[in-house]
Structure 1
Amino acid sequence: MFVFIRRGIASSLGAIVLAAAGGLSAPAVAQPAPPPVQWLCTPEMASDPCDLGSDTTDLGTGVVSAADQVDESDKPVDCFYVYPTVSDQLALNADLTPQPEVQSIASYQAARFSSQCRVFAPIYRQMTLTPGIEAALVGAPLAQTAYGDVLGAWNEYLAHENNGRGVILIGHSQGTMMLRKLIRDQIDPNPELRKKLVGAFLMGGNVTTARGSTVGGDFQNIPVCTEQGESGCVVAYSTAVADPTVSLFGNSSFDALSPVMGLPSGPGYQIACTDPAVLSGNTDPVGLTIPSSPFAFGIISVLLGYTSFPHGAPTSASSWTTIAERTVGGCTDTNGYRFYQFHLTDPTGQPVNELPLFNTHLVDVNLGYDRLISIAEQQTENWQASA
C-alpha cells in the first residue's frame, strides 16, 4: 500500500514540476513590489533553527563528541542558506511564516554548518509541493515570486550584514535552483562579489557545466571544485543507490527543473558531480547524520520515514545522531545520468530506499554530512590565506 502511495506522490511531484515549467514560459507579468525580507535564521536571533549545538552521538562507533563552542563574533565567514521544497501549505507559493517543516529542514541542512560560519537564512515564498499544477493553466510566475524573495534577502544581507566578509552559499533542491540563478546573475559576472565567495554547496539541483569542463554551463567564471581545499568554487551532486533510468536529476537532456528558472539545460551540458571524499580528503565510509529531534510531521517527514529510516529515525541524547550503518560511493556516469552513487558496507543494515524520479534526494546533504563541513572549513582557511 505504501509503495503505491509513494509512487503516486513522486509521479505527482514530477508532473507538477513539468507543468510549472510550461506555465512559467508564458510572457512575463508585471510583479508587485516584494514584501519586507523575513529571516528564518540570523546571528542576532536569540534562538533559531540554524542554531544547534554540534554535539553528536555516533551509533556505529559509540563515540559521543562534544559541541564546538564558537562565538558568533569568532566565526570568520558567513553562510547564506536557501532551503529546499518543504512547505506543506496548500497554495501555489508558500507564505512568509516560519512553518514547522521549514524550521526542521533548516536544522537538518544548515545548523551543522553553524560551527564554521554565521548563518543567514531567509524565508521565501517557495513553490509548494502541491497544488502547483494550476501554474501550467494560468501561467502564474511562481518561480519569479520565490526568487524575488531570495534576491531581496541577498541584497539586504550585502547592504547591512556582510561588511567585506567571505560567504558560503548553501542550498538544496529548489534552494539550489534559487542559488544557481543568484550566482549566475549576481555573483559570477561581478569580480568584487566573486572575491567574497568562499564556496557554494549546491546540492540536488542539477548544476550544469559545459561537457568536459568545470565552467561553461550555469557559470562562466566560477568553476565546480576539483581539488581538496579549493575555494571560490562549487560543490554539487545528487545521490542515488541504484543505476538511474528515469530521474529529475543528473541528466541535463531530461532536466525539467532548470527551465523553471531560465537556467541552462539540454544535451550540450552535463550535470556536475563533485566527489566529497576527494574534496574533503576523507575516504572513510560515512553514515547519515541528522538532528536527534524528530522532523516536523508532514509530507517530508513521511517520505524520510520510508526512504531514509524505514526502521525508525536514529536518536540520542546529543543534538545530532549518526546512524550505525556506513556507506561508500563515488561519482558515476550511468545511462547518461551523473550521480554520487553509494551503497551500504553492510547489506544487512537499515536500507536506504529510493523514490521514483527522485532517487535518494532527501539525503543529499546529510549523507556524509561532516565531509561537507570539513570542505567548508578547508575552503575558509584557503580563502583567508588568499584574501
Structure 2
Amino acid sequence: MARKFLYIVTGLIVVVLLVFLALRIFAQDLTEIAFVPSAKFTDQPRLAEASYDNPDMWLARPGMKNDAARWLPSDFAQVHASGAAGENESEGETVPAAAEARVDAAVFFVHPTGLVSRSSWNASLDDTVSRQRSRLFVQGMASPFNASADVWAPRYRQAAVGAFLTDAPEATQALDLAYRDVAQAFDTFVRAIGPRQPIVLAGHSQGAFHLRRLIRDRIAGTPLAKRIAVAYIVGWPVSHDRDLPLMGMPACKDATSTGCVVSWLSFAEPPETEMLLRAYARRRGLDGQEVGANPSFVCVNPISGVENGKAPAKDNLGTMVPDLTQGTGTLVPEVVPAECGADHLLHIGPAPDLDIGPYVLPGNNYHLYDITLFWSNLRADFARRVEAFTK
C-alpha cells in the first residue's frame, strides 16, 4: 500500500510541476489555450438514483476502509496538546483518539479539481489518475474535520481545470454536469445522517464553487438551513452582493458565529490578482448577474475566525507541510500570518520560509495551500463553531 501511494504521489508531482511550469512560462492567453479542453463537450447520463448508496462512490464516509479523510500529520499528537492518537488499520496513519473531544456534526466535503486534461471536459468515474489526485486532496483538506466520525466526501465527474479558464458554453455545461453529481451525493448524505445531526459543509476551489450553488438550491429557505452549523467555502470567491442573499447565510462575523459562511483566498506579497479576477468574472453570481469589475467578496480570517480580521503568525496553530516523497506531512506552528485586505483577499505576508512544495500559482497565489496553511486553526475553528451551534 505504501509503495502504491508513493507511485501516486510521484505521478502527481510530475503532472503538477508541468502545469505550473507552463503557467509561469506562457502568457495568460496562452495559458488558457494550453489547458482549455479541445474536445467537443459530450454530456453524460445522469447517475442511477441509488448510485451514492455504493461506498465506492465515496472517497470518505463513515465505516469506510481506506478512508482518505482519516489521515493526520505524523506529528499531530506532539503538536496538539490532546496528545494520544490511535492507529488507522488501513493506512498506518494517526487518527483522533478518545483523548481528543469528538465533534458532533456530519461533514459534507467536496474536493477541488483533480482533472488536468485537454481531451475531455469532465472526468470519467473510471479515470484512475483524477481519482488518485482527488483522494490526495481529500487527505490533506478534509482531514482537519476528522474529529468528527461523520466525514463524507463524494467522488464526482468533476470539470477539467480548463473549464475555469474560458467562458465557452462547454465550460458551463461541464460544471453543470459535475454539480448534478454533487447534488445527488448530498441528497444521499442527508438521508444517511438522519434528521437532527448538525451539518458542516466544506469544499475547496471547484468544490467550493459547487457548494455555493448547492446551498442556494438545496438548503436556503428549507428546514435544512437550521441545521447548518457553518459552511467553509474556501478557494472560490463568495460575493456579498451576488451570492450571500441567495444562499440565505451571512458571512461569519466572529469566531463563534454559526449558520454562516467562512471563505478566503490566500496570496503572498506582492499579490498579482488579474488571473484570479478574470476567472471569477467568467462565472456569474448565484443571482445570475455579472460580478462586476470591483467585486466585494467574503474574507474570514482562518486564524482568528473574524471577518476582515488580522492575526499574527504566533497565533497560527500549525501549517501542514507535506512530505510528498513519504506520503505524509508535519505541522509547523507560528510561521504564517493572515490579514484580510481591502481587496478582500487573505494576505499572508512574504512567501513563508517553509518547504511546502513548488505549487504556488503565478502572482504569489497560494490557492492550493488555502487550507493547509491554516490546517490546525481550521480544525480548532470547526470544533469551536459546532460547539457554539450545539449550545
What band does the TM-score fall into relative to the shorter chain?
0.7 to 0.9
The TM-score normalised by the length of structure 2 is 0.73
Equivalent residues in 2 for 1:1-387 (5 A)?
A: 5-8=22-25, 11=28, 15=32, 32-35=45-48, 36-37=51-52, 38-53=57-72, 56=75, 65-67=83-85, 68-70=96-98, 75-88=103-116, 90-97=119-126, 99-129=131-161, 136=168, 141-190=173-222, 192-210=223-241, 217=244, 219=246, 221-249=248-276, 251=277, 255-259=280-284, 265-267=291-293, 269-279=295-305, 284-286=314-316, 287-290=318-321, 292=323, 294=324, 320-323=329-332, 326-333=335-342, 337-343=343-349, 354-356=360-362, 359-385=365-391
8 A contact 2:102–2:147 mirrored in 1:
no
Q: Deviations over 1:186-245 (max 9, x none)?
A: 21222x1111101011111011103xxxx9645453011011111111110000012434
TM-superposed CA distance for 1:33, in Å, is: 2.8
The one-letter code sitting in structure 1 at the alignment partner of 2:22 is I
Structure showing greater relative contact order (alpha-carbon pairs closer than 8 Å, 6 or more residues apart): 1
Instruction: Classify 1:320/1:268 alpha carbon distance in 2 versus 1 (closer, same or farther; 3 Å).
Output: closer
CA distance in 1, matches of 2:354, 2:104: 39
Match of 1:311 in 2: none
User: 1:53/1:338 Cα in 2 relative to 1: closer, same or farther (>3 Å)?
Assistant: closer
Map of 1:304 onto structure 2:
none
- Take 1:162 and 1:9, find their aligned partners in 2: how far apart are those partners? 50
Query: Quick one: structure 1 residues 220 and 180, their matched pair in 2 at CA, closer, same or farther if it must change by over 3 Å?
Result: closer
Aligned-residue offset at 1:369:
1.2
2:246 and 2:287 in contact (8 A); partners too: no
CA contact (8 A) 1:17 1:256 kept: no
Aligned twin of 1:300: none
Query: How far is 1:30 from its partner?
Result: 8.9
Q: Compare the two structures and name the one with the higher helix fraction.
A: 2
- Letter aligned with residue 221 of structure 2: P
Looking at structure 2, the residues matched to 323 and 180 of structure 1 have their Cα atoms a distance apart, in angstroms, of: 31
2:91 paired residue number: none
Deviation at 1:259, TM superposition (A): 3.0
| Count of residues paired in the alignment | 345
Amino acid at match of 2:113: T
For the residue of structure 2 that corresponds to 1:44, the secondary structure is coil
TM-score normalised by L of structure 1: 0.74
Mapped to 2, the partners of 1:79 and 1:273 lie a distance apart of 22
CA drift of 1:272 comes to: 0.9
Q: Secondary structure of the residue that 2:225 maps to in structure 1? A: helix
Q: 1:329 is aligned with what amino acid?
A: A
Counterpart secondary structure, 1:321: strand
Gaps of 5+ in 2: 1-16, 86-95
Alignment root-mean-square deviation, CA: 4.2
| Deviation beyond 6 Å, 4+ runs, structure 1 | 16-20, 61-64, 131-135
**Residues 54 and 66 in structure 1, CA contact (< 8 A), matched pair in contact too:** no
Q: CA deviation at 1:348?
A: 6.3
**Alignment CA distance shift 1:4-1:145 (3 Å):** closer
The residue identity in structure 2 corresponding to 1:228 is A
